[in-house]
Chains A and B, each alone.
Chain A
Amino acid sequence: MSKKLLLEHIDVEGIRSYDVYRKQGGYQAVEKALKGMSSDDVVEEVKKSGLRGRGGAGFPTGMKWSFLAKPDGVPRHLLCNADESEPGTFKDRYLMEKIPHLLIEGMILSSYALGANQSYIYIRGEYMFVMRIVEQAIAEAYANGWLGKNILGSGFDLDLAITPGAGAYICGEETALIESLEGKRGNPRMKPPFPAVKGLWQRPTVVNNVETIAAVVPIIQHGGDAYAAIGIGRSTGTKLISAGGNINKPGVYEIELGLPVEEFIYSEEYCGGIKNGKRLKALIPGGSSVPVLPHYLICKTAAGEPRLMSYESLADGGFATGSMLGSGGFIVYDEDQCMVRNTWNFSRFYHHESCGQCSPCREGTGWMEKVLHRIEEGHGTMEDIDLLWDIQRKIEGNTICPLGDAAAWPVASAIRHFREEFEWHINEPKLSQERNYGLVTEKTFDAQPA
């Protein structure tokens, strides 16, 4: 059994309520920090822990915190990014729904570390029912003296509120989230200035993912060193993986980073293998934005090493033969799934979600959707594959925010690894309407012409 830090008490009956959470040792980390640690001590523990952003980017949390500007007399803010919208990802919802006080405890610790006295949780509007749960838990925390003025007599004040979005994937991007929290359209901002200098209401701001903030609780409770001892290399601690697709046991799992991918997919403790006895065809390990891997690059890297659930191992081989841990949105495809249809589906998603500020993304995502749709429907030409490659290359890196990259990578990786399936759709338009292609041929990777 893997060590559980976030989900240790998830099956305790009533853990959603304050009383049960408290009885299981909840809010002890806040007591420890507010009674015996300075805010710098808390930052130091998080730095020692090696914790990296769990929303997808994997940036070291302690370092992000240390960038926060602290001009005299200007309030600072901590924002929790609960806008979970990356296809394949449903871990933050699980955490907030099941054990909301863990997030609140993490918000208190993190706000204390940053010297923020007014913090917000921004949750996607579709999770309104989850917002009700968290709002109830916030009220309980106020009633029991964990929020408000002079918490535990420490002199530290904190007000915490949760506020919804209204349906926009882009608001998971931190500057779009800030715009949305200010009551505007979710258009990402140009950087610099970075939120750490000018964020919410032009004040210094840190934005962290739900799981990142929750992980601060065990880090303070057990110490940064103990946390860093779990995991592998620079991938320390545990990670929530939301597993879906064609597997026997979809759901949210907490793993120690470094677990072999093969074990995660096939063991009974986790995904329980591929559904209906089918063969594994492809994997998207970190949400729809990260490159898709073909079956022969999933359990082993191109170098023949076992592929591990870690930031480094999943990225091994770069985009040529690797992918990313991303948000931990783990989507498994069996041999019956069509990679062209799936790529078209994701392109439609990014087209729908593009905020429209930058032409390469606004126009390019629509073009990719159209071209992929005609290939899928049996009207494609060979030139369409090159056209797709050209469009995605002209989007990547040419937009204000990473949504452009996120739209480009799935298309690029699908062509890179499943080109023969695209060609088959074009050469066999009738057949491709009747059945799916099946597994792709194992091959060594040749670089795409630039």
Chain B
Amino acid sequence: MTAVMNESRQFTPELLEEVNRIVSLFPEGKQKSALIRVLHLAQAHFGYLDTEAMDYVARLLHLNPIEVYEVATFYSMYDTKPVGKVKLEVCRTGPCMIEGAEPIIAHIEKRLGIKDGETTADGLFTLKSVECLGACGYAPMLQAGESFHEHLTEEKVDALIEEYRANPVANYMGLK
């Protein structure tokens, strides 16, 4: 039984064009290679990857749903559960830790009233500590959407939170 999909649960024509462009980067019949990037698009568009979103991507790329599920659950950037509009991903690995990542995480927890991994009640922010993001010389740092925010201080974090509160578009990783 295939339910009729809600229109908001489909890609826009612009996104479908982008999918075609991504698929065209690979040889005929190797469209599975486009999966990881198309899942980024799907997550940005749908907010997170539920079964319906993954099945939609499977149909787009002519894959079995299981091929999409196993990828979506392997990579740490994909969310298979709802998250806030803005994900604050703070690097917690060695070089960031010794430059003060832990106090930054504690400050955000206090500031937003949530623990690591949780989402604020208004659905605006998710805090997530993550492994090395390749900014070790500019520690401590966090990623929000496609942006890296480096050399963090508590003041900078406060300003950032206010900025995203006013304009919460940071989670659109994968969309131009």
Q: Give the interface of A toward B (CB within 8 A).
A: 84-90, 93, 118, 124-129, 132, 161, 163-169, 180-186, 201, 242-246, 250-252, 284, 288, 329, 331, 333, 337, 341-342, 345-346, 349, 352-353, 355
Contacts and interface: CB of A to CB of B under 8 A. Distances in A.
Given A89-B136, A349-B131, 4 more contacts: A87-B93, A88-B132, A125-B173, A168-B76
Interface residues of B, number: 45
B4 to A, nearest CB: 28
Given A88-B136, A242-B137, A128 B94 contact: no
B82 interface: no
Given A163-B25, A168-B74, A168-B75, A201 B97 contact: no
Contact of A345 (B32, B39, B97): B97
Interface of B: 25-27, 30, 32-37, 39-40, 63, 67, 70-71, 74-78, 92-95, 97-99, 130-139, 143, 146-148, 173-174, 176
B93 A345 contact: yes
A352 B131 contact: yes
B35 A183 contact: yes
B53 to A, nearest CB: 15
A128 B173 contact: yes
Contact of B132 (A87, A183, A186): A87
Shortest 10 CB-CB contacts between residues of A and residues of B: A166-B75, A167-B76, A250-B137, A167-B77, A183-B32, A183-B35, A244-B136, A161-B25, A185-B74, A87-B132
B93 to A, nearest CB: 5
Given A166-B36, A166-B78, A183 B146 contact: no
Contacts of A201: 27, 30
Given A129-B147, A129-B148, A353 B131 contact: yes
Given A87-B95, A168-B75, A342-B97, A163 B135 contact: no
Contact of B131 (A88, A169, A243): A169
B98 A333 contact: yes
Given A182-B32, A337-B98, A165 B75 contact: yes
Contacts, number: 146
A117 to B, nearest CB: 11
B94 A88 contact: yes
Contacts of B99: 244-246
A118 B27 contact: yes
B33 to A, nearest CB: 5
A54 to B, nearest CB: 15
A164 B36 contact: yes
A310 B173 CA distance: 39
A342 B94 contact: yes
B137 A251 contact: yes
B136 A331 contact: yes
Nearest to B151: A250
Contacts of A245: 95, 98-99, 136
Given A126-B134, A165-B36, A246 B71 contact: no
Given A125-B77, A129-B148, A245-B95, A85 B33 contact: no
Given A183-B34, A185-B71, A353-B131, A90 B77 contact: no
B93 A349 contact: yes
Contacts of B37: 163-164
A17 B167 CA distance: 30
A163 B33 contact: yes
Contacts of A182: 30, 32-33
Contacts of A93: 134-135
A85 to B, nearest CB: 6
A256 to B, nearest CB: 20
B136 A342 contact: no
Contacts of A124: 134
A251 B27 CA distance: 39
B173 A243 contact: no
Given A88-B94, A168-B75, A329 B36 contact: no
A185 B136 contact: no
Contacts of A86: 132
Contacts of B77: 125-126, 166-167
27 contacts: A87-B131, A90-B136, A90-B137, A128-B146, A129-B146, A129-B147, A161-B25, A161-B26, A163-B33, A163-B36, A164-B37, A166-B36, A166-B76, A167-B76, A169-B132, A182-B32, A183-B67, A185-B70, A185-B74, A242-B137, A244-B139, A245-B99, A252-B137, A284-B94, A288-B93, A345-B92, A349-B94
B61 to A, nearest CB: 8
Contact of A246 (B76, B98, B143): B98
Given A129-B146, A164-B40, A244-B137, A87 B74 contact: no
Nearest to A338: B98
A243 B139 CA distance: 11
A129 B148 CA distance: 9
A157 to B, nearest CB: 14
